[in-house]
Amino acid sequence: MRLLLYISSFIAITLVSFTGMQQKQRIVFFGDSITQAGVAPNGYITVLGNLIAQKGLKDQYDLVGAGISGNKVTDLYLRLEDDVLAKDPNTVVIWIGVNDVWHKKGGTGTDAPKFEQFYNAIIKKLQAKNIKVVMCTPAAIGEKTDFSNELDGDLNKYANIVRSIATKNNCPLVDLRKAFLAYNLANNAQNQDRGILTSDGVHLNDKGNMLVADEMMKTLVK
């Protein structure tokens, strides 16, 4: 009887432990230099982790950064296996597009059809592994609110492509382009091209990291 009780207790503890491990969600953040900086002490991934901890949910989420400076959508596709799938994520947050637009000035950007093609290919590979995909629109290349930033037109076009891809693939969307524009309209009365949510028009300052973390929190943490 004692042996049976011991075995039953061992099985119960094992099942509880296994269930606990299963509940922990690994989220990989896949992107460029903005995401690479996201794991810094004030980066958006770190801030998001702090917000999760404040809700008492720290043990339920494992946040992993997979950003590399200069990356475009084609680079993400090429390193998907090693930098994302090998980490066995439950969810992948894709935030790409700034360099695809920005680098056109130097002739190394990504044209719109190619951007859409490779983005869809990434999603297809992730969804084939039953990985949840969360998509983010590119946020800013300049913060002026009157659409006089040099690349506003192209950036809006690529943000719309991301929105369309998200709808077609049934992916949750964190619309950072929309959030950045709204914040700047409310807080950038001087029409500055930087210094509101970014340090240089692209990369996040502390307020930008907090805004991104808040926006992602709404979608990633229920």
Determine how many CB atoms are found less than 10 A away from the CB of residue 58: 13
Is residue 133 within 8 Å of residue 162, measured between CB atoms? Answer: no
Instruction: Indicate the pLDDT class of residue 18, thresholds 50, 70 and 90.
Output: very low
pTM: 0.90
Quote the pLDDT of residue 92.
98
Return the bridge partners of 174, or none.
136
Return the bridge partners of 61, or none.
25
Spatial separation of the C-alpha atoms in residues 117 and 161, rounded to whole Å:
11
Is residue 118 within 8 Å of residue 77, measured between CB atoms? Answer: yes
| Residue whose C-alpha is closest to residue 213's, from 60, 52, 44 | 44
Is residue 85 within 8 Å of residue 129, measured between CB atoms? Answer: yes
Domains along the sequence of the chain with CATH? 25-220 (3.40.50.1110)
Quote the pLDDT of residue 19.
44
Q: Residue 32: helix, strand or coil by DSSP?
A: coil
| Residue whose C-alpha is closest to residue 37's, from 218, 206, 215 | 206
Spatial separation of the C-alpha atoms in residues 118 and 74, rounded to whole Å:
6
* Residue recorded with tokens 């390193």: 79
Quote the tokens at residue 186.
Answer: 């409310």
* Amino acid letter, 166: A
Q: Tell me the DSSP string of 65-112.
A: EEE-TT--HHHHHHTHHHHTGGG--SEEEEE--HHHHHGGGGT----H
Q: Tell me the DSSP string of 176-194.
A: HHHHHHHHHHHH-TT--SS
Q: Please check the confidence at residue 56 and state whether its pLDDT lies above 80.
A: yes
Quote the pLDDT of residue 222.
78
| Residues 70-107: tens digit of each pLDDT | 999 999 999 999 999 999 999 999 999 999 999 999 99
Determine how many CB atoms are found less than 10 A away from the CB of residue 17: 10
| Residues 145-191: tens digit of each pLDDT | 998 999 999 999 999 999 999 999 999 999 999 999 999 999 999 99
- 16-20, 114-118, 191-195: which range is least confident on average? 16-20
